[in-house]
Structure 1
Protein backbone atom coordinates (compact mmCIF):
# COMPACT_ATOMS: atom_id res chain seq x y z
CA UNK A 1 0.00 0.00 0.00
CA UNK A 2 2.83 2.41 0.85
CA UNK A 3 4.47 1.96 -2.54
CA UNK A 4 1.14 2.56 -4.31
CA UNK A 5 0.70 5.79 -2.37
CA UNK A 6 4.26 6.77 -3.25
CA UNK A 7 3.58 6.10 -6.93
CA UNK A 8 0.36 8.15 -6.71
CA UNK A 9 2.27 11.05 -5.13
CA UNK A 10 4.84 10.88 -7.94
CA UNK A 11 2.22 10.77 -10.68
CA UNK A 12 0.20 13.63 -9.20
CA UNK A 13 3.32 15.75 -8.86
CA UNK A 14 4.27 15.02 -12.46
CA UNK A 15 0.75 15.85 -13.62
CA UNK A 16 1.04 19.16 -11.77
CA UNK A 17 4.37 19.92 -13.45
CA UNK A 18 2.98 19.10 -16.89
CA UNK A 19 -0.09 21.25 -16.29
CA UNK A 20 2.20 24.12 -15.25
CA UNK A 21 4.10 23.76 -18.52
CA UNK A 22 0.87 23.85 -20.53
CA UNK A 23 -0.35 26.87 -18.53
CA UNK A 24 2.84 28.81 -19.24
CA UNK A 25 2.79 27.79 -22.91
CA UNK A 26 -0.79 29.04 -23.23
CA UNK A 27 0.24 32.35 -21.64
CA UNK A 28 3.03 32.78 -24.18
CA UNK A 29 0.62 32.27 -27.05
CA UNK A 30 -1.43 35.29 -26.03
CA UNK A 31 -0.02 37.85 -23.61
CA UNK A 32 -2.72 38.92 -21.22
CA UNK A 33 -3.41 40.42 -17.83
CA UNK A 34 -2.93 38.40 -14.65
CA UNK A 35 -6.67 38.08 -14.19
CA UNK A 36 -6.96 36.16 -17.43
CA UNK A 37 -3.93 34.05 -16.59
CA UNK A 38 -5.49 33.09 -13.27
CA UNK A 39 -8.52 31.71 -15.14
CA UNK A 40 -6.37 29.20 -17.03
CA UNK A 41 -7.75 25.66 -16.63
CA UNK A 42 -4.18 24.35 -16.86
CA UNK A 43 -3.19 26.47 -13.87
CA UNK A 44 -6.10 25.13 -11.82
CA UNK A 45 -5.32 21.55 -12.85
CA UNK A 46 -1.72 22.13 -11.73
CA UNK A 47 -2.85 23.47 -8.36
CA UNK A 48 -5.31 20.61 -7.85
CA UNK A 49 -2.80 17.91 -8.83
CA UNK A 50 -0.02 19.40 -6.69
CA UNK A 51 -2.40 19.88 -3.76
CA UNK A 52 -3.68 16.32 -3.96
CA UNK A 53 -0.11 15.11 -4.41
CA UNK A 54 0.80 16.89 -1.17
CA UNK A 55 -2.01 15.15 0.70
CA UNK A 56 -0.98 11.75 -0.66
CA UNK A 57 2.64 12.56 0.25
CA UNK A 58 1.56 13.14 3.85
CA UNK A 59 0.01 9.66 3.85
CA UNK A 60 3.28 8.27 2.50
CA UNK A 61 5.24 9.92 5.29
CA UNK A 62 2.95 8.28 7.85
CA UNK A 63 3.92 4.88 6.47
CA UNK A 64 7.54 5.16 5.32
CA UNK A 65 10.67 6.68 6.77
CA UNK A 66 11.49 9.99 5.11
CA UNK A 67 14.98 8.68 4.29
CA UNK A 68 13.36 6.02 2.10
CA UNK A 69 10.33 7.92 0.81
CA UNK A 70 11.95 11.18 -0.25
CA UNK A 71 14.60 9.73 -2.57
CA UNK A 72 11.83 7.73 -4.27
CA UNK A 73 10.39 11.02 -5.48
CA UNK A 74 13.40 11.08 -7.79
CA UNK A 75 11.20 9.03 -10.11
CA UNK A 76 9.67 12.40 -10.98
CA UNK A 77 12.93 13.30 -12.75
CA UNK A 78 12.65 10.14 -14.82
CA UNK A 79 9.00 10.65 -15.71
CA UNK A 80 9.38 14.33 -16.51
CA UNK A 81 12.43 13.61 -18.67
CA UNK A 82 10.44 11.06 -20.67
CA UNK A 83 7.54 13.48 -21.04
CA UNK A 84 9.87 16.32 -22.04
CA UNK A 85 11.38 14.13 -24.74
CA UNK A 86 8.33 12.37 -26.13
CA UNK A 87 5.48 14.85 -25.48
CA UNK A 88 7.22 18.22 -25.72
CA UNK A 89 9.91 16.98 -28.16
CA UNK A 90 12.69 18.59 -26.14
CA UNK A 91 16.25 17.42 -26.84
CA UNK A 92 17.81 15.32 -24.08
CA UNK A 93 21.56 14.77 -24.21
CA UNK A 94 23.50 11.63 -23.25
CA UNK A 95 24.63 13.02 -19.92
CA UNK A 96 21.00 13.63 -18.95
CA UNK A 97 20.06 10.05 -19.94
CA UNK A 98 22.97 8.78 -17.85
CA UNK A 99 21.62 10.75 -14.90
CA UNK A 100 18.18 9.22 -15.46
CA UNK A 101 19.74 5.73 -15.47
CA UNK A 102 21.56 6.49 -12.21
CA UNK A 103 18.34 7.75 -10.62
CA UNK A 104 16.54 4.56 -11.65
CA UNK A 105 19.38 2.50 -10.17
CA UNK A 106 19.19 4.44 -6.92
CA UNK A 107 15.42 4.03 -6.68
CA UNK A 108 15.77 0.28 -7.26
CA UNK A 109 18.37 0.04 -4.49
CA UNK A 110 16.23 2.04 -2.09
CA UNK A 111 13.08 0.18 -3.09
CA UNK A 112 14.61 -3.05 -1.83
CA UNK A 113 14.65 -1.52 1.68
CA UNK A 114 10.99 -0.44 1.63
Structure 2
Protein backbone atom coordinates (compact mmCIF):
# COMPACT_ATOMS: atom_id res chain seq x y z
CA UNK A 1 0.00 0.00 0.00
CA UNK A 2 2.84 2.39 0.82
CA UNK A 3 4.36 1.71 -2.59
CA UNK A 4 1.13 2.70 -4.33
CA UNK A 5 0.91 5.89 -2.27
CA UNK A 6 4.51 6.76 -3.12
CA UNK A 7 3.83 6.13 -6.79
CA UNK A 8 0.77 8.40 -6.70
CA UNK A 9 2.77 11.06 -4.83
CA UNK A 10 5.50 10.93 -7.49
CA UNK A 11 2.87 11.34 -10.21
CA UNK A 12 1.14 14.22 -8.46
CA UNK A 13 4.36 16.07 -7.69
CA UNK A 14 5.52 15.69 -11.28
CA UNK A 15 2.18 16.95 -12.58
CA UNK A 16 2.18 19.89 -10.18
CA UNK A 17 5.68 20.73 -11.42
CA UNK A 18 4.48 20.69 -15.02
CA UNK A 19 1.48 22.87 -14.19
CA UNK A 20 3.69 25.35 -12.35
CA UNK A 21 5.99 25.46 -15.38
CA UNK A 22 3.02 26.32 -17.58
CA UNK A 23 1.97 29.12 -15.22
CA UNK A 24 5.57 30.39 -15.15
CA UNK A 25 5.86 30.67 -18.92
CA UNK A 26 2.38 32.19 -19.18
CA UNK A 27 3.58 34.89 -16.78
CA UNK A 28 6.62 35.56 -18.95
CA UNK A 29 4.60 36.68 -21.93
CA UNK A 30 5.23 40.32 -22.73
CA UNK A 31 8.28 40.51 -20.45
CA UNK A 32 11.74 41.43 -21.70
CA UNK A 33 13.85 38.59 -23.08
CA UNK A 34 16.33 38.61 -20.15
CA UNK A 35 16.35 35.96 -17.46
CA UNK A 36 16.58 38.28 -14.44
CA UNK A 37 12.81 38.86 -14.20
CA UNK A 38 12.00 35.31 -15.19
CA UNK A 39 14.07 33.88 -12.35
CA UNK A 40 11.91 35.82 -9.87
CA UNK A 41 8.79 33.90 -10.86
CA UNK A 42 7.35 32.03 -7.86
CA UNK A 43 5.82 29.57 -10.33
CA UNK A 44 9.27 28.67 -11.63
CA UNK A 45 10.53 27.97 -8.10
CA UNK A 46 7.40 25.99 -7.25
CA UNK A 47 7.98 23.93 -10.40
CA UNK A 48 11.56 23.21 -9.40
CA UNK A 49 10.50 22.28 -5.87
CA UNK A 50 7.74 19.94 -7.03
CA UNK A 51 9.91 18.29 -9.67
CA UNK A 52 12.77 17.88 -7.19
CA UNK A 53 10.50 16.33 -4.56
CA UNK A 54 8.93 14.16 -7.25
CA UNK A 55 12.39 12.87 -8.15
CA UNK A 56 13.14 11.99 -4.53
CA UNK A 57 9.83 10.18 -4.13
CA UNK A 58 10.45 8.42 -7.44
CA UNK A 59 13.74 7.08 -6.06
CA UNK A 60 11.78 5.59 -3.15
CA UNK A 61 9.39 3.99 -5.62
CA UNK A 62 12.26 2.44 -7.55
CA UNK A 63 13.56 0.87 -4.34
CA UNK A 64 10.25 -0.96 -3.97
CA UNK A 65 9.18 -1.75 -7.54
CA UNK A 66 10.76 -3.06 -10.71
CA UNK A 67 11.31 -0.24 -13.17
CA UNK A 68 9.35 -2.19 -15.81
CA UNK A 69 6.26 -1.88 -13.60
CA UNK A 70 6.90 1.51 -12.02
CA UNK A 71 7.75 3.54 -15.11
CA UNK A 72 4.63 2.77 -17.14
CA UNK A 73 2.57 3.82 -14.11
CA UNK A 74 3.89 7.35 -14.64
CA UNK A 75 1.62 7.39 -17.69
CA UNK A 76 -0.99 8.66 -15.25
CA UNK A 77 0.75 11.98 -15.76
CA UNK A 78 -0.57 12.09 -19.33
CA UNK A 79 -4.10 11.60 -18.03
CA UNK A 80 -3.81 14.21 -15.29
CA UNK A 81 -2.12 16.80 -17.48
CA UNK A 82 -4.72 16.30 -20.21
CA UNK A 83 -7.48 16.98 -17.68
CA UNK A 84 -5.70 20.09 -16.42
CA UNK A 85 -5.03 21.31 -19.96
CA UNK A 86 -8.68 20.94 -20.84
CA UNK A 87 -10.38 22.20 -17.68
CA UNK A 88 -7.85 24.67 -16.22
CA UNK A 89 -6.10 26.07 -19.30
CA UNK A 90 -9.13 25.58 -21.58
CA UNK A 91 -7.04 23.96 -24.29
CA UNK A 92 -8.87 21.94 -26.93
CA UNK A 93 -8.63 18.16 -26.60
CA UNK A 94 -9.96 16.15 -29.54
CA UNK A 95 -11.62 12.72 -29.57
CA UNK A 96 -8.45 10.87 -30.54
CA UNK A 97 -6.67 12.35 -27.55
CA UNK A 98 -9.48 11.22 -25.21
CA UNK A 99 -9.29 7.72 -26.70
CA UNK A 100 -5.55 7.73 -26.04
CA UNK A 101 -6.20 8.81 -22.44
CA UNK A 102 -8.68 5.95 -22.02
CA UNK A 103 -6.14 3.46 -23.38
CA UNK A 104 -3.46 4.78 -21.02
CA UNK A 105 -5.86 4.44 -18.09
CA UNK A 106 -6.58 0.85 -19.14
CA UNK A 107 -2.88 0.06 -19.23
CA UNK A 108 -2.32 1.64 -15.83
CA UNK A 109 -5.19 -0.41 -14.40
CA UNK A 110 -3.72 -3.61 -15.84
CA UNK A 111 -0.29 -2.86 -14.41
CA UNK A 112 -1.71 -1.54 -11.14
CA UNK A 113 -2.70 -5.05 -10.17
CA UNK A 114 1.01 -5.87 -9.85
CA UNK A 115 1.77 -3.03 -7.41
Residues 36-88 of structure 1, C-alpha deviations (whole Å, 9 max, x = no match): 10111000000000000000000000001101100000000000000000000
In structure 2, C-alpha distance between the alignment counterparts of 1:3 and 1:31, rounded to whole Å: 44
- Residue range with higher mean Cα deviation, 50-59 or 29-38: 29-38
Instruction: Give 5+ residue unaligned stretches, structure 2.
Output: none
Number of aligned residue pairs: 114
Cα RMSD of the aligned pairs, angstroms, is 0.8
Q: Identify the residue that residue 95 of structure 2 maps to in structure 1.
A: 94
TM-score by length of 1: 0.97
In structure 2, C-alpha distance between the alignment counterparts of 1:9 and 1:29, rounded to whole Å: 33
TM-score by length of 2: 0.97
